[in-house]
Structure 1
Amino acid sequence: MTAMADVTFYTNPMSRGRIARWMLEEVGCDYEAVLLDFGTTMKGVDYLAINPMGKVPAIRHGDTVVTECAAICAYLADAFPDAGLAPALPDRGAYYRWLFFAAGPVETAVTNNAMGFTLPTEKEQTVGYGSLSHVTDTLEGLFADGRSFVLGDDFSAADVYLGSQIAWSVGFKTMELRPGFADYIARLDARPARQRATEKDNALMPQQGAG
């Protein structure tokens, strides 16, 4: 009898599921990937019972279902502590700060910019991110001291999520490339887990010209 995987992973290679797969590769757990299609199986009854939003990624670990990339990263870091991707609880201030800064201000600012939505200056105080320039300035300041990762020398789940946001945004030119960003992205790209995740997702991408 084949043993069941530790985690069931619902994804599509053209989605934020790439972030969750990278995290799964980092923790090194056994997982089964379930590939879903936009507009069909992602909106089907079976998957809506897992995530009523009909979006990926999501994971099931035993009886626990987790959606939202930042939550998945934080959960997996705690569920598989041997990977060492979350600091001890008393030291988690910066870890939580930057993980959820990425999930809130960064993602919102970058998405709005990509959609061509710019707030009038007098309205910036009404949203959590203020402006894309404020967000980018803050991230530039984070790496101004030459640190290797979000928490300094130690790679963590915060780098999986925040690093993915920065790399994606810079790559698609929805965020300006600031000092420190290129070196940070290069360090992330050099991680074997990120390389494995990228290879697996790229292999699932639809081929050009395919019917």
Structure 2
Amino acid sequence: MSEEITFYHNPRSRAQMAHWMLEEAAAPYKTIILDFEKGEHKTPEFLAINPMGKLPTIVHRGTVVTETGAIIAYLADAFPEAGLAPAMGDAARGTYFRWLFFGAGCLEPAILDKMLKRPDAEPKAAIGYGSYEDVLSTLKDALTPGPYLLGSLFSAADVYIGSQINWAGMFGAPGLKGDPVFDAYVARVTDRPAYKRAMAGM
């Protein structure tokens, strides 16, 4: 089966994160742009691949992978020579997965709730991330030692978390842009050649 990845993309979507990861992994891929205005993400042909009609979506070795965090984690393991995830058996892999799942389960929901001005939940409510302030404080503590979430090792978790912080800061989520820890982290990760290639190829 072909090693080439089919990457379904629209630059006005979370697919930008997967694009950056594809470049970091040096993965062979072809890009298929889906036009949202034309509803190309809702055609029967695409819905047969991803019934949610969402991007990013990749197909690799005949397998469909959806959900941004899953795609990023999958690519790190599929292309281990890029060194974007701790090896199996390395204790750091636990920390790596912690931050990947934190990005999906805590950071993104907290950011979206805040930016969409949803009312705060009651303190005892069964909300997965607790509070927006707790999420940012936890993340800031993790990033303060630097330079990356796993210390000196840049990983796929930084692609995911770094993308989210950068995006949220650009769109005015409170507590991010202007904070020295977050600003320095975003500057480091967006200075990477793979990030620049992905953004140039949008």
What's the TM-score once normalised by structure 1's chain length? 0.89
2:61 and 2:123 mapped to 1: Cα distance? 48
Residue 68 (str. 1) matches residue 35 (str. 2):
no
1:121 and 1:144 mapped to 2: Cα distance? 30
2:73 and 2:123 mapped to 1: Cα distance? 35
Give secondary structure in 2 for the equivalent of 1:154. Answer: coil
Select which of 23, 26, 35 maps to 1:25.
Answer: 23
Q: Matches of residues 29-48 of structure 1 in structure 2 within 5 Å? A: 29-38=27-36, 40-48=39-47
What's the TM-score once normalised by structure 2's chain length? 0.93
Which aligned segments of 4 or more residues in structure 1 are displaced greater than 4 angstroms?
none
1:107 and 1:197 mapped to 2: Cα distance? 21
8 Å Cα contact 2:3/2:60 also seen in 1: no
Equivalent residue letter for 1:38: F
Which residue is 2:171 aligned to?
A: 172
8 Å Cα contact 1:140/1:179 also seen in 2: no
Give secondary structure in 2 for the equivalent of 1:9. Answer: strand
Equivalent residue letter for 1:9: F
Q: C-alpha displacement at 1:41, in angstroms?
A: 1.0
Q: 1:147-190 CA deviation, whole Å, 9 max, x = no partner?
A: 11110001000000011111111121114123411111111111
Residue 13 (str. 1) matches residue 14 (str. 2):
no
1:64 and 1:175 mapped to 2: Cα distance? 38
1:112 and 1:164 mapped to 2: Cα distance? 18
1:11 and 1:144 mapped to 2: Cα distance? 33
Q: What's the % identity of the aligned pairs?
A: 49
Q: Matches of residues 69-88 of structure 1 in structure 2 within 5 Å? A: 69-88=68-87
Which residue is 1:53 aligned to?
A: 52
8 Å Cα contact 1:11/1:33 also seen in 2: yes
Q: C-alpha displacement at 1:144, in angstroms?
A: 2.3
Q: Matches of residues 125-204 of structure 1 in structure 2 within 5 Å? A: 125-145=125-145, 147-177=146-176, 178-201=179-202
Which residue is 2:117 aligned to?
A: 116
- Distance change (3 Å), C-alpha of 1:73 and 1:120: closer
8 Å Cα contact 2:121/2:127 also seen in 1: no
Aligned residues: 196
1:104 and 1:153 mapped to 2: Cα distance? 25
Q: C-alpha displacement at 1:59, in angstroms?
A: 0.3
Give secondary structure in 2 for the equivalent of 1:126. Answer: coil
1:51 and 1:109 mapped to 2: Cα distance? 25
Q: 1:23-78 CA deviation, whole Å, 9 max, x = no partner?
A: 00001111100000226110001100111000110000011110011000000000
Equivalent residue letter for 1:138: T
2:50 and 2:183 mapped to 1: Cα distance? 35
